[in-house]
Amino acid sequence: MRFLKIKNAAICASLMTATFAMSNLSAETRWDMPLPYGDGTHQTQVARSFAEEVNANAQGKLNIKVHSGGSLIKHPEIHRAVKSRQVQIGEVFIGRLGNNDPIFKLDNIPFLATDFASAEKLYKASKDQLIKALAKDNLTLLYTSPWPAQDLYSNKPINSLADLQGLKMRSYSPTTSKLADLMGSIPVNIPFSDVAQAFTTNAIDAMVTSPSTGVNAQSWDYISHFSTIHAWIPKNMLFVNTKIFNRLDKELQQVILTAANNAEQKGWALARQLAVEHTDILRDKGMIVSAPSEELQGELRAIGETMLADWLEEAGDSGKSVLDAYRAL
């Protein structure tokens, strides 16, 4: 009997040690971070560097695990997954959320901000609204990172909109579907991962996206023409669930905000650099790279004005104040 008691006490003690060890282990919080694009894109490189910086400076309190290319959660589900705390943090292409709030549509309006200096101003002017729109879903913006300007890919020369009539045009957001419509083409929603296959099976004939995305998808294998229309500079954004972020101690929150700020600088610098480098690669690989004709530019700009007017109507006073702030910068 006595022996048994001692044995029980010993078991108790070792159980306590085990529990203590386990709680020590779980002192490190793990976050899953789904990313929509694959490892070849600068967006994913930027997000990885953010996670590495946080992990290195979190003193064992937090570990962010990156899941790129929609491997954990597919792009259309990432916003909902962070909002519902299925995961803690995630990245999306801002324009995809256009139907949630008009401010997300502003990111894809053609010919409003077509160079990086203007895109930076537009970001500055719209940032408060962007933060507010995310806050409605209990999300906190960490950083944005742009893509190079959006250019036109096609399998024939496009000298005017007449050349696009009836072509199937890839869209990646509500705003780009509308753009395809106004161009006289047929919008087809295709995620980046399916672009190559969609071209080779004739599911799409044309697309508007960055030179980087063409390089990532080896577009020279199945697309011949690239017109540098520089229509807009869209962004991805990284956000965290606010409730989860607020649970961290202040020091750890600061580690995250500092890493986010560094990632934002890095993303904007990289996009500027890749806009040039990746256009050169498309040319070197044999694509016919040309500037748009006056006629095409004029037609596209007119569509841009229509889309901006429609956006202003939808976005109301808060939209007008963003636009006024942008123009004043």
Q: Which residues bind ligand PCA (CB under 6 A)?
A: 93, 147, 172, 192, 209-210, 212-213, 234
User: Closest approach of Cβ 13 to ligand PCA, in Å?
Assistant: 58
Choose between 58 and 103: whose C-beta lies nearer to ligand PCA.
Answer: 103
Q: What is the strand order of the sheet 139-146 is part of?
A: 89-93, 235-241, 139-146
User: Closest approach of Cβ 210 to ligand PCA, in Å?
Assistant: 3
Q: 178-185 long-range CB contacts below 8 Å, 24 or more apart?
A: 178/307, 178/310, 179/108, 179/110, 179/208, 179/303, 179/307, 182/303, 182/306, 182/307, 183/300, 183/303
Choose between 93 and 268: whose C-beta lies nearer to ligand PCA.
Answer: 93
Choose between 153 and 311: whose C-beta lies nearer to ligand PCA.
Answer: 153
User: Closest approach of Cβ 90 to ligand PCA, in Å?
Assistant: 16
User: Closest approach of Cβ 44 to ligand PCA, in Å?
Assistant: 12
User: Closest approach of Cβ 276 to ligand PCA, in Å?
Assistant: 15
Of 229, 224, 195, nearest to 286 (Cα)?
A: 224
Choose between 115 and 294: whose C-beta lies nearer to ligand PCA.
Answer: 115
Choose between 31 and 79: whose C-beta lies nearer to ligand PCA.
Answer: 79
Q: How many other C-beta atoms can be found within 10 angstroms of the C-beta atom of residue 72?
A: 19
The H or E element that residue 129 is part of is helix 116-135
DSSP helix/strand/coil, 177 = helix
Of 199, 232, 226, 229, nearest to 284 (Cα)?
A: 226
